[in-house]
Structure 1
Amino acid sequence: MRKSVLLFLLIPILSYSQIRFGITGTLQNSSVTKIHNKSSSRYAGSIGALAQIQLDNYYRFFIQPEVSYSLQGEKDKIKLSGKSTKAKFFQNYINIPVYFRAYFSEAESEFFSEIGPQLGILIYQKDKKLEKERYGSNPKNLDASISIGFGYSIFRKSEFFIRYNYGFIDIYDKFYRKQNTSILAFGFAYIFD
């Protein structure tokens, strides 16, 4: 019954909306906040796909779900066999954000802002044994975060943006203090007609 009601409510929105698809990629700086003093960020990137669902007649407001493969984590100084070395505590995620996007006007080339929640699913982890020894546990399989961004669209096709993402989940639950994922990303998207 609930599914039928939800479908009934979504039919007017989906029939009214125009949906466009695109690809996106970022260069990003990721880290885990408050984990330790000697860590350094991981510089990597992400690649993915998006959909833009129009919400109004004026081409200003959209819902933009995305799915991306994201390289995250950080480096930490540790001692192995009496020598100080940098360990790579890298995690790769499938991230699924859903943005509410607003363009500043109806112009084809225009600035925009966006905000939305993101679910991250851990699919790869480097140095599992070492990471567990260092932090008391391995990272959790799920991460939930909020993302905010700002950008510029050229003819509503080529878009450049900057985003900041902050996690709400305690990634290493056995570490002595709470820590969160943190990502600053510079990106590009191309939207197909």
Structure 2
Amino acid sequence: MSAANAQVEFGAKVGFDLTNYWGEDVSHTLQPNYQAGLVMEYHAAPKFSVAPEVVFAAQGGKSDNLTFHANYVNVPVMLKYYVAPAFSIDFGPQVGFNVYSKVTPKDQDALDLGDMTNTVDFGLGLGATYNLTNNAFIQARYTMGLTKVYKDQSVDVMGYKLTTDNKAKNGNIQISFGMKF
């Protein structure tokens, strides 16, 4: 595909996520969440394209007594290699901007963790996209956070001492459906 024939596509996607925190001294289970956002794909060559996105994602983790909610506006830039005309392997960096961060102790009200949460999250994504039609697609992706979610602090959460000096990082398994316009 020459530069004159390069094609740009725009669209939207929604998805189901399983999120958790991972890292040293982190013991969290998967938590169901969601995502929704806008996508673009620039076909730079017959088998290669660049696909930036802007996605709102509910993320977090769950331990025995606490459920963490950390919502982000994520901006992944996926490099796509088409192994077949309708199927690509996707890899690329992601930067996330925290917009909401709370913890909910079991059977109690949520506590705001905004001041304890790092504002920016960097990660790497690996996945695949299958184009069902020219306009509809499905995606599967794992995004691994590379930066700590929380600043090194501790706070009393309704009688439970919460220490955020661990190495908790975001982990996100995504299954998405999207449409190109």
Q: TM-score, length-normalised on structure 2?
A: 0.79
Report % sequence identity. Answer: 22
* Structure 2 counterpart SS, 1:173: coil
Runs of 4+ in 1 over 6 A off after TM superposition: none
Please tell me whether residue 172 in structure 1 is matched to residue 161 in structure 2: no
101, 109, 132: which one aligns with 1:125: 101
* Structure 2 counterpart SS, 1:155: coil
Q: How far, CA to CA, are the matches of 1:164 and 1:89 in structure 2? A: 19
Correspondence list, 1:97-136, <5 A: 97-105=76-84, 107=85, 110-127=86-103, 130=111
More helix by share: 1
Q: Which amino acid aligns with 2:90?
A: E
Q: CA deviation at 1:131?
A: 7.1
Q: How far, CA to CA, are the matches of 1:89 and 1:41 in structure 2? A: 11
Gap runs ≥5 in structure 2: 105-109, 153-163
Gap runs ≥5 in structure 1: 1-11, 78-85
Correspondence list, 1:26-37, <5 A: 26-34=15-23, 36-37=26-27
The equivalent residue for 2:137 is 159
More strand by share: 2
14, 20, 24: which one aligns with 1:25: 14
The equivalent residue for 2:55 is 68
Q: Which amino acid aligns with 2:177?
A: F
Correspondence list, 1:39-118, <5 A: 39-56=28-45, 58=46, 60-77=47-64, 86-105=65-84, 107=85, 110-118=86-94
Q: Which has the larger radius of gyration?
A: 1
Number of residue equivalences: 162
* Structure 2 counterpart SS, 1:36: coil
Root-mean-square deviation (CA, aligned residues, Å) is 2.3
